[in-house]
Amino acid sequence: MAQFEPDSWNPAVAVITWLLMRITALAVVSRPLTKSLLVGGLMADDALCRVTLHACR
């Protein structure tokens, strides 16, 4: 028995959601890395971004 109906959008929505979540995670991770390399330190907003990334997992 198939997990999804043949005419269902559920698989496409699941794949798109997973893809967008990974892209967002890469953006959140790359921001503090580039900021620490260019500026030399991190600010409070970077810590907040990190907390929200861990909360989403």
Q: State the pLDDT at residue 1.
A: 46
Per-residue pLDDT averaged across 41-57, rounded?
79
Q: Which two tokens stand for residue 35?
A: 């900021």
Q: Are 11 and 4 spatial neighbours (Cβ–Cβ below 8 Å)?
A: yes
CA–CA gap between residue 41 and residue 15 (Å, rounded) = 36
Query: Which residues, in sequence order, are CB contacts of 31 under 8 Å at separation 6+?
Result: 46, 49
First to last CA, the chain: 31
pLDDT tens digits for range 4-48: 677 777 888 889 999 999 998 888 788 888 888 888 877 788 788
pLDDT at 3 over 80: no
Domain positions in the chain are 30-57
Tell me the one-letter amino acid at 1: M
